[in-house]
Structure 1
Amino acid sequence: MAAPSSRRSERIDALRGFAVFGILLINVWGFVYGYAVLRYGPMGGDDSQADRFAVFFAAAFAEQKFYPIFSFLFGAGFALQIRSLTKSVGALEAMRIYRRRLGWLLVVGLLHGSLLWFGDILTAYALTGFWVFRKGLQPLSKVRESFDAAVLLNGGLLLLMALLTVFIATSSDFAADALVEVLRAADIYVNGGWGEVARERLKDFGTNLSGFWLFIPRLMLLFLLGVFAVRLGWITRPHRHRRLWLCVLAAGLLVALPLNLWWGYSAVDMAVGAGTPRPTSHAALYLLELSGPALGAAYIAAFMLAGERAMDSVARWLAPVGRMALTNYLVQSLALGLMLPAYGLGLGALLGRIELLALCMAIMLVQVLLSRWWLSGHQQGPFEALWRRFTYRR
């Protein structure tokens, strides 16, 4: 079966490329410190102000901002693709095709999480997608009902997380155990052999999967927001919704940004006082569940409000990365998995936090150049082409 052609949005592709790079800024820490409560590891007197800035920057401007953007765009991409498929092959065949698409993504996600990166998000996307692609085909009023139900579910989970946060903040044993665990995991990921790292990765991937009961409801909400954004024209015709995006940007800058700056400061404080974090740091971390995605929404608004000339300049560099988002995401995991462990280049034991941030910037630059080069001779990235071939097989 021939795949239907679709007109791509450079603005959306550029935003997707921006999100891919933002995710790298957070994933890199897991390759050094593992699946730990102390994401940025413990810091001591040997860590420079530059290292503290690296933690502050990643926490304040990247953590909990970019997976919501990517999830929102996944839902939007579903709505765009299913619309195109339905027009070309009918609703029933469109559902079959999209089911194959999600099945392929699920397999890739499980392999990615097992072999490269325990924090894989593709598995969760595929599992959530099987639910959303049925809901997203319904009339808008029904989609709204599903969205309202997802809001209530996430509200209940936030209340549960508040109770857990209070418990953690008042438990000295939890903080001490977290410090011991991050030191143990970091020693394995940085200094361990291939077999040791593989076993630890599988254990951490299992922990990641066990937390899906908390994570997938967030994805449900974000996917449905993406469906709304397409069906109501928020991102397909952003010039008609400038007032909406101005409100989102204002809320992000005036409310979410100060809270995220507080979390950036608190993340450094938690890393420095790893054994005895302040209760206020836990409060900032809890509020990040809302303030992080809110600032991510402001990033989206900035892209939607950008003028054509400015967006053309940005898209020239970021849109190719976004068109190859799956390939670039997987290659990032491969690159970090080869460069940081002792059985690879062993850079994890040599680089400080600011140098890890610089390494991410170098990977981003290389991916920009490679994406532009690859797409000068191909329609899609290599993994996107495989995905498309499986999806539209006869």
Structure 2
Amino acid sequence: MSNRYLTLDLLRGVAVLGLPTMNMLSFAMPVAAYLNPTVYGNHDFLNHFLFAFFNLFADQKFMGLFTLLFGAGIVLLAEKRAEKDQKVGWGHYSRMFWLLVIGWLHSFFIWENDVLTLYAMIGALVYPIHKLSTKTVLSISVVSLLIAAYFFQFPNLDHEQLESENNETPFWIYSPSDEQIEQDIAEKRGSYSEVMQSARRAYYEPLSDEVSDEEELLASFSYALMAKTFGMMCLGIALYKSGFLLASWSRRRYQIIMKLALAIGFSLSIFGLAWNYSHSWNIGAYFSVGIAASSVGAIFTTLGYAAVVVLIVQKGLMQNMVERLSKVGQMAMTNYLMQSVICGFIFYGYGLGLFGSVSRLGLIPIILSLWVFQIYFSNWWLKRFTQGPMEWLWRGLSYYSFRSMIRR
């Protein structure tokens, strides 16, 4: 395999294996525990240390890398279809339509925090941009990410009022009441229908007839998420077109970017953590400065992580592990959806029902076991088949042509 495709597959593999480091929290605990370490679990040093560790090194970083590579994949597939004189635009929009369908099914029947539906919608908007020059695409990316940073300050909220209330008003997404936590645990430990009804009610039903602060918060978060996703996909396109993601730059340039990006990214993330702790995780402080600093910092850290991975390929380090992880990347959709199925079985009531029972420390061996399984399964599968099962299905639906995936 050429360094070009090996690098992309490895980056994708690292990204998809990094997702459960944060996503598993959403399966295992009330949603507010993802954002706020003080609302659930023990309030000891270990709980706060693990929250800070994963917030610093994982939160938004691997999802950012996953999004960046999705943008790069748009250009890669467009080039492949153009080389074969196939309809490029038609192929892309067909892929986005079926990705939307798959994502909606995932969201509605497995896990409400699906990202594929968002990727499908933003991917459809991003497609025309891939034809522009690298500098133009990069400029669009920067503007979009600045818009995201603006909305991550939640300008439509009354921050002074929220700070004065000092988390006394229950916000299920950040500072839920004890009753809300107990209800969430009971529903997630219930039957399959109860789990799904709980998720749909939380995301699709209005909290009241009037627009509440919580709905204003969710609206700003949605705008920020869409702008950031758009910006990260554009950044992925620019990095692909420039050769950054293809390991074609000099080692020195990657080393400079790695050091600068990680220094800026970690500095902003540390500032965000320090800000939140200095304000005792006050909701007004968090949604004005804390989350904005962390979200902007994550963009730089993601870029730094990408540079690290490219350097590993360029230097020929850990070749056996690189090859194994690249197989995970070749089956990124399959592995992403598999994570939802496995986590749902472990934590929800229709499976083992461990929701609310596992600490942050207890999640670590589960994450490590999932990594080992997915690395082994991906390598086992691709020795026998040319594609992952979901990749095969997505391709077949998109191009109305199902080819045998048995490796001959």
Map 1:67-78 to 2 at 5 A.
67-78=63-74
Alpha-carbon distance in 2 for matches of 1:179, 1:64: 23
Number of corresponding residues? 384
Contact kept? 1:317, 1:368, Cα under 8 Å: yes
Contact kept? 2:262, 2:300, Cα under 8 Å: no
* Alignment match, 2:232: 222
The partner residue of 1:29 within 16, 25, 29 is 25
Looking at both structures, which has the greater relative contact order when contacts are Cα pairs under 8 Å and sequence separation is at least 6? 1
Map 1:4-23 to 2 at 5 A.
9-23=5-19
Contact kept? 1:267, 1:281, Cα under 8 Å: no
Listed as ranges, the gaps of 5+ residues in structure 1 are 1-5
Map 1:265-276 to 2 at 5 A.
none
* Alignment match, 1:187: 185
Contact kept? 1:136, 1:227, Cα under 8 Å: yes
1:327 corresponds to which letter in structure 2?
A: T
Q: Deviations 1:76-100 (Å, cap 9, x if unpaired)?
A: 111111011112125xx11111111
Q: Aligned-pair distance for 1:269? A: 8.4
Contact kept? 2:26, 2:34, Cα under 8 Å: no
Contact kept? 1:36, 1:182, Cα under 8 Å: no
* Alignment match, 2:266: 257
Q: Aligned-pair distance for 1:113? A: 1.0
1:22 corresponds to which letter in structure 2?
A: G
* Alignment match, 2:201: 203
Contact kept? 2:74, 2:237, Cα under 8 Å: yes
Seen in structure 2, the aligned counterparts of structure 1 residues 255 and 227 have a Cα distance that, compared at 3 Å, is: closer
Contact kept? 1:30, 1:39, Cα under 8 Å: no
Q: Deviations 1:188-228 (Å, cap 9, x if unpaired)?
A: 45433322211111134438996543311111111111111
Q: Aligned-pair distance for 1:35? A: 4.1
**Stretch of structure 1 that moved more, 67-76 or 165-174:** 165-174
Q: Aligned-pair distance for 1:109? A: 0.7
Seen in structure 2, the aligned counterparts of structure 1 residues 279 and 152 have a Cα distance that, compared at 3 Å, is: closer
Alpha-carbon distance in 1 for matches of 2:34, 2:195: 19
* Alignment match, 1:213: 223
* Alignment match, 2:212: none
* Alignment match, 1:87: 83
Listed as ranges, the gaps of 5+ residues in structure 2 are 206-214, 402-408
Contact kept? 2:98, 2:397, Cα under 8 Å: yes
Seen in structure 2, the aligned counterparts of structure 1 residues 266 and 140 have a Cα distance that, compared at 3 Å, is: closer
Map 1:380-391 to 2 at 5 A.
380-391=387-398
Alpha-carbon distance in 1 for matches of 2:98, 2:339: 20
- State yes or no: 1:288 paired with 2:294: yes
Greater fraction helix: 1
* Alignment match, 1:157: 151
Contact kept? 2:271, 2:293, Cα under 8 Å: no
* Alignment match, 1:109: 103
Contact kept? 1:188, 1:197, Cα under 8 Å: no
SS in 2 for 1:63: coil
**Stretch of structure 1 that moved more, 183-192 or 293-302:** 183-192
RMSD over aligned Cα atoms: 3.3
Q: Deviations 1:85-131 (Å, cap 9, x if unpaired)?
A: 112125xx111111111111001111111111111111110000111
Alpha-carbon distance in 2 for matches of 1:17, 1:33: 26
**Stretch of structure 1 that moved more, 331-340 or 346-355:** 346-355
SS in 2 for 1:9: helix
1:223 corresponds to which letter in structure 2?
A: M
Q: Aligned-pair distance for 1:246? A: 2.3
Q: Aligned-pair distance for 1:319? A: 0.9
After TM superposition, the score normalised by the length of structure 1 is 0.85
The partner residue of 1:342 within 335, 343, 349 is 349
Alpha-carbon distance in 2 for matches of 1:338, 1:114: 16
Contact kept? 2:122, 2:229, Cα under 8 Å: yes
* Alignment match, 1:298: 304
SS in 2 for 1:335: helix
Contact kept? 2:268, 2:293, Cα under 8 Å: yes
* Alignment match, 2:257: 248
The partner residue of 1:61 within 53, 57, 60 is 57
**Stretch of structure 1 that moved more, 56-65 or 367-376:** 56-65
2:61 corresponds to which letter in structure 1?
A: K
**Stretch of structure 1 that moved more, 48-57 or 125-134:** 48-57
- State yes or no: 1:125 paired with 2:123: no
Q: Deviations 1:234-257 (Å, cap 9, x if unpaired)?
A: 11133x243442232112332322
Contact kept? 1:11, 1:303, Cα under 8 Å: yes
After TM superposition, the score normalised by the length of structure 2 is 0.82
Alpha-carbon distance in 1 for matches of 2:164, 2:301: 29
Alpha-carbon distance in 2 for matches of 1:269, 1:156: 22
1:199 corresponds to which letter in structure 2?
A: Q
Contact kept? 2:109, 2:196, Cα under 8 Å: yes
The partner residue of 2:324 within 317, 320, 329 is 317
* Alignment match, 1:236: 246
Q: Quote the sequence identity (%).
A: 25
1:191 corresponds to which letter in structure 2?
A: R
SS in 1 for 2:317: helix
Seen in structure 2, the aligned counterparts of structure 1 residues 263 and 140 have a Cα distance that, compared at 3 Å, is: closer
Contact kept? 2:13, 2:328, Cα under 8 Å: yes
Contact kept? 1:14, 1:315, Cα under 8 Å: yes
Seen in structure 2, the aligned counterparts of structure 1 residues 25 and 186 have a Cα distance that, compared at 3 Å, is: farther
